[in-house]
Amino acid sequence: MISNRIREIPFSGIREFFELVQKSKDVVSLGVGEPDFPTPEPLKDAGIRAIENDYTSYTSNYGILELRERIARKLKLKNGIERDPEREILITTGVSEALDLAVRAIVNPGDDVLIPEPAYVSYKPDVWFAHGNPVPVPTTEENKFRVQSEDIKERITKKTKAIIISSPNNPTGAVLRRKDLEEIADLVIDKNLIVISDEIYEELIYDGERHYSIGSLNGMEDLTITLNGFSKAYAFTGWRLGYAAGNSEIIEAMMKIHQYTMLCAPSIAQYAALDAFDLREDVSDMVRSYDLRRKLLVRGLNSLPNISCIMPKGAFYAFPNIRESGMNSEEFARALFKEVGVAVIPGNTFGASGEGYVRCSYSVSRETISEALGRMERFMMSI
């Protein structure tokens, strides 16, 4: 009854561990990447006002124009990207939908899409759904998991259509620097490729690093689809709101799929998000808290026997190396869960170059992190 293509695609390893956590008691989870902060009060109030004012009907397929105009201003001022809010910005049901639309809008059957790995679990399946071929580009701990342009160049062929990049990265926390992006841009322009740039974690950066948008670099304006949203920075995950910005031809193609499969993003979430651009203090407070948790988790991981962890520069994930434990990623995560009730995500869930690592989220309280570290110490001492 099921199509061969769907039958061959595995379930998300993240969701598998999420289900285990939901069914178990006395579990400390570092697994799911979701802010533990409540949605800021101004956004909740704006959502309530939208309901009270009956802003509960369908919106334009592109999304409400006022929100697109505010996104366009933000893109210009913060990211150095100029986009027409009427024709070059599309509001989507989360960044997950924006990614799916972007891939399906540009990929023909048989096209190759380069994906630096470790990478978020949706990238590869979305390429499969579009009948394309995902081509992994491995990154290494030695390079702080920042993709190297020479590794991309080696994998470009006549079949290559696009590359998906993510900075800050999920699961490694790597942040691409301007020089990294300029080298990637040179390859993209030379080969006339398209970049899908996932920038959902752009606000969550530490240690003086900066976020750069590849779409702002000379020559990349029409070769970049910039994806972003409100979930991570504004604790807005369940509201399901993201957006895509690109040239009008690509955005129109994405909208064509969107209008048949989704019609529009949730109206209430769109009206609530209008107030997000004024919440700089709320976002800064959350980032400061994540920074403290980041340092607590990484210091703790590095104090454990047979575990080492580089300091992530962005997002809210650490990616510790567990190879000296003598177990692979899957074995380690399952044993850790079974023996001491700590949930982490096996690194191979994010691609072959994630083998030998696990993903630990610090989007949880410091108390939860401390408890997890204590249990992990008992586990590591017992093996």
Contacts of 77 (CB under 8 A, 6+ apart): none
Question: What's the CA dihedral at 336, 338, 344, 346 to 10 degrees?
Answer: 80
Of 278, 305, 333, the one marking the end of a domain is 278
Q: What is the count of structural domains for the chain?
A: 2
pTM recorded for the entire structure: 0.96
Please confirm whether the linkage preceding 118 is cis (ω < 30° from 0).
yes
Q: Compute φ and ψ for 12, nearest 5 degrees.
A: -65, 130
Sign, CA dihedral 50-51-56-61, equals: positive
User: Mapping DSSP to helix (H, G, I), strand (E, B) and coil, where does residue 176 land?
Assistant: coil
19-25, long-range: CB < 8 A, 24+ apart: 20/337, 20/343, 21/343, 24/341
**CATH code at position 69:** 3.40.640.10
Q: Which of 4-13, 34-43, 74-83, 261-270 has the least mean pLDDT?
A: 4-13
131 and 252, same domain (yes or no): yes
pLDDT in tens, 317-365: 999 999 999 999 999 999 999 999 999 999 999 999 999 999 999 999 9
User: Mapping DSSP to helix (H, G, I), strand (E, B) and coil, where does residue 237 land?
Assistant: helix
pLDDT in tens, 119-145: 999 999 999 999 999 999 999 999 999
**CATH code at position 291:** 3.90.1150.10
Residue 168 is given by DSSP the state: S
Q: Which domain holds residue 76?
A: 41-278
Distance CA 62, CA 102 (A): 14
